[in-house]
Chains A and B, each alone.
Chain A
């Protein structure tokens, strides 16, 4: 069946406890530099970012290149160690765990990457690729059980189980991404972190992959952390959204709230820049200058030098994320003071 009923985000996710939480994450990359330099050059990729992803939701992180969204995903997955801050998964702090103690959590959080041409091993058959994580995390399963599991998962994400004996180069981008989804689902995770999973695909194929992801979420009771630059995908797919700019979280809100009442000046500009099917001519977004370097962050609010509402307080003081009447969090002095 292609067209079944709408699957709007279930309302109980609003009160669900967080499945994964990033608290005060700071991630600086040390570029080494010269010993005579007074200050070692640092890329300040994340500067005190906190998010809590509730069980069962599809949390989206959006922002433009270099805003730190992928870095945050990688810190949460344990692929990068945070410089400061904590990662909690299902009530346990996991960032300080030793590798072996962390392994059960690795099973429960899986990742899907942007480039399906790079994320599948070209020298392994699909069957081998799919079996490996099962054998690693469930060593007690027999060969027959592993095979049965591969087949079951392939069918559940709408793939032909007959693909198993073939190699990645025999598949199109969309099919490869569906194999990546199957691989993530093999070990029965609670959380799937998807970093731009459809950006490399054609429009008609993007829809196929998004549909598979939405179906899978429902069938397996999954939680998604979805990283994307594409706001129209967020509007369709997300239950809540975090908007990032230059390593900080500027706004966090329910998806419907964010699109109906964007508050942070950056969010507003970002939303206005989405191309729409419309006969209105494209307008410049009114965002002067360029994103500053993460090695040399602006003082105060990182957005102040491009912000239409900035004043002297903005260049001096880092804004805190303050809750709004509808539950949104906004880190902006102008919003707090009711300017503009």
Chain B
């Protein structure tokens, strides 16, 4: 049984102009200790899906259907009290902006001790000892002294390390990281991502890494889900998806990365932009931007076909995979 099993998740936002569907029947699983990437551009629904798992959707957002089974319990059926025993305890979340997690008027130490005591019945001294050990693990220099620091006294990279230390405090089974290094410089990004990778391995923690960056996903995760306009368009082993992408959107995203092609050559661009939620095209949502569009693409949403564990939502998937094999 997987650690987390999200099945046919629908997230809706009722508005005056009708109901917007931000996440449309999305399914994925995370095994114990597995690292999953969720990739997509702005508006693809990747953060909303993650927020739904922790029941953190802001109004009027709501789960419109599906189930989220974590450690044998359906999280959509838990009350607030029960949810609190999961959120921040069994599942931790890391946000893009560390200041979304850190309280600016409390010291790092206070915040860490509070977090621990909220979930466990332990003494202050014991909580402090665990907190210092965790700060050391995320390679914060002289962790004892840092316990007395306020968040503003730390750099962006250090703050994100503290957030990771807090996420690890309660020994969660799963960490959800939403663009954890997008705001950081490349050297710090490499530092933080390799640290997260190592910690997930040593603690056997599962990871959902939400990002727009396929390169980061390829170097950190084992499986990947590519979202477009709220639907899964391609999913499978990360190595297979990034090296032999099938869906025209995934192919387009990879081809658009500078640094892969000949310097100075025109970059492969995907025309147009992500549709807005109130105007998701009929049929395959990607069809207005696709170079290979056919009549049947406009008629109905293509199914997510399974090719030996590599699943693709495209009417041409058969031909494309056959073509790649030939």
Q: Contact residues of A with B, CB < 8 Å?
A: 2-4, 6-9, 64-65, 172, 174-175, 202-208, 210-211, 214, 229-233, 235-237, 255-256, 269-270, 272-285, 287, 290-291
Assuming the contacts A6-B266, A174-B273, A279-B239, asked whether A203 and B256 have C-beta atoms less than 8 A apart, the reply is yes
Assuming the contacts A207-B270, A274-B259, A276-B215, asked whether A285 and B191 have C-beta atoms less than 8 A apart, the reply is yes
Asked whether, in the complex, the Cβ of A9 is within 8 Å of the Cβ of B264, the reply is yes
Give every chain B residue within 8 A of A290 (Cβ-Cβ): 155, 157-158
Question: Closest CB-CB distance, A51 to chain B, in whole Å?
Answer: 20
Q: List 16 A-B contacts (CB under 8 A).
A: A202-B212, A203-B257, A206-B258, A207-B270, A232-B260, A236-B258, A236-B263, A255-B263, A272-B190, A276-B259, A279-B218, A279-B219, A279-B238, A280-B219, A283-B194, A284-B194
Question: Closest CB-CB distance, B268 to chain A, in whole Å?
Answer: 7
Asked whether, in the complex, the Cβ of A270 is within 8 Å of the Cβ of B215, the reply is no
Give every chain B residue within 8 A of A6 (Cβ-Cβ): 262, 264-266
Asked whether, in the complex, the Cβ of B259 is within 8 Å of the Cβ of A235, the reply is yes
Residue of chain B at shortest CB distance from A173: B42
List 7 additional A-B contacts (Cβ < 8 Å) besides A8-B262, A282-B194, A285-B187.
A3-B266, A65-B156, A203-B253, A204-B273, A229-B186, A235-B259, A278-B215
Residue of chain B at shortest CB distance from A8: B264
In the complex, which of the residues B158, B213, B218, B268 has the most CB atoms of chain A within 10 Å of its own CB atom? B218
Assuming the contacts A203-B257, A204-B253, A204-B269, asked whether A284 and B212 have C-beta atoms less than 8 A apart, the reply is no
Asked whether, in the complex, the Cβ of A275 is within 8 Å of the Cβ of B239, the reply is no
Among A8, A175, A210, A287, contact of B258 (Cβ-Cβ < 8 Å): A210
In B57-71, the 8 Å CB interface with A consists of none
Q: Does B267 contact A (CB under 8 A)?
A: yes
A255 to B243, CA, bound (A): 27
Which 8 pairs, one residue from A and one from B, show the smallest C-beta to C-beta distance?
A232-B259, A236-B258, A275-B215, A64-B185, A207-B256, A207-B267, A202-B41, A273-B190
Question: Closest CB-CB distance, B136 to chain A, in whole Å?
Answer: 16
Asked whether, in the complex, the Cβ of B218 is within 8 Å of the Cβ of A237, the reply is no
Give every chain B residue within 8 A of A275 (Cβ-Cβ): 186, 189-190, 193, 213, 215-216, 218-219
Question: Closest CB-CB distance, A7 to chain B, in whole Å?
Answer: 5
Asked whether, in the complex, the Cβ of B187 is within 8 Å of the Cβ of A64, the reply is yes
Give every chain B residue within 8 A of A282 (Cβ-Cβ): 190, 193-194, 197, 216, 219-220
Asked whether, in the complex, the Cβ of A278 is within 8 Å of the Cβ of B42, the reply is no
Give every chain A residue within 8 A of B214 (Cβ-Cβ): 203, 277
A203 to B155, CA, bound (A): 27
Assuming the contacts A203-B256, A211-B267, A282-B193, asked whether A273 and B215 have C-beta atoms less than 8 A apart, the reply is no
A332 to B150, CA, bound (A): 37
Asked whether, in the complex, the Cβ of A285 is within 8 Å of the Cβ of B259, the reply is no
A229 to B258, CA, bound (A): 13
Question: Closest CB-CB distance, B199 to chain A, in whole Å?
Answer: 12
A236 to B269, CA, bound (A): 14
Count chain B residues whose beta carbon lies closer than 8 angstroms to a beta carbon of A: 50
Q: Contact residues of B with A, CB < 8 Å?
A: 41-42, 155-158, 185-191, 193-195, 197, 212-216, 218-220, 238-239, 242-243, 252-254, 256-271, 273-274
Residue of chain A at shortest CB distance from B267: A207
Give every chain B residue within 8 A of A206 (Cβ-Cβ): 256, 258
Give every chain B residue within 8 A of A237 (Cβ-Cβ): 258, 263-264
Give every chain A residue within 8 A of B253 (Cβ-Cβ): 203-204
Among B215, B252, B258, contact of A204 (Cβ-Cβ < 8 Å): B252
In the complex, which of the residues B156, B191, B262 has the most CB atoms of chain A within 10 Å of its own CB atom? B191
A287 to B186, CA, bound (A): 11
Asked whether, in the complex, the Cβ of B266 is within 8 Å of the Cβ of A211, the reply is yes
Residue of chain B at shortest CB distance from A215: B266
A205 to B253, CA, bound (A): 10
A82 to B275, CA, bound (A): 45
Assuming the contacts A6-B264, A236-B258, asked whether A203 and B185 have C-beta atoms less than 8 A apart, the reply is no
Asked whether, in the complex, the Cβ of A256 is within 8 Å of the Cβ of B186, the reply is no
Among B41, B186, B242, B271, contact of A270 (Cβ-Cβ < 8 Å): B186
Question: Closest CB-CB distance, A9 to chain B, in whole Å?
Answer: 6
Assuming the contacts A6-B264, A277-B242, A282-B197, asked whether A172 and B273 have C-beta atoms less than 8 A apart, the reply is yes
Assuming the contacts A273-B189, A277-B257, A279-B218, asked whether A203 and B264 have C-beta atoms less than 8 A apart, the reply is no
Give every chain B residue within 8 A of A205 (Cβ-Cβ): 41, 273
Among A175, A207, A269, A279, contact of B269 (Cβ-Cβ < 8 Å): A207
Asked whether, in the complex, the Cβ of B189 is within 8 Å of the Cβ of A207, the reply is no
A233 to B260, CA, bound (A): 10
Asked whether, in the complex, the Cβ of B197 is within 8 Å of the Cβ of A274, the reply is no
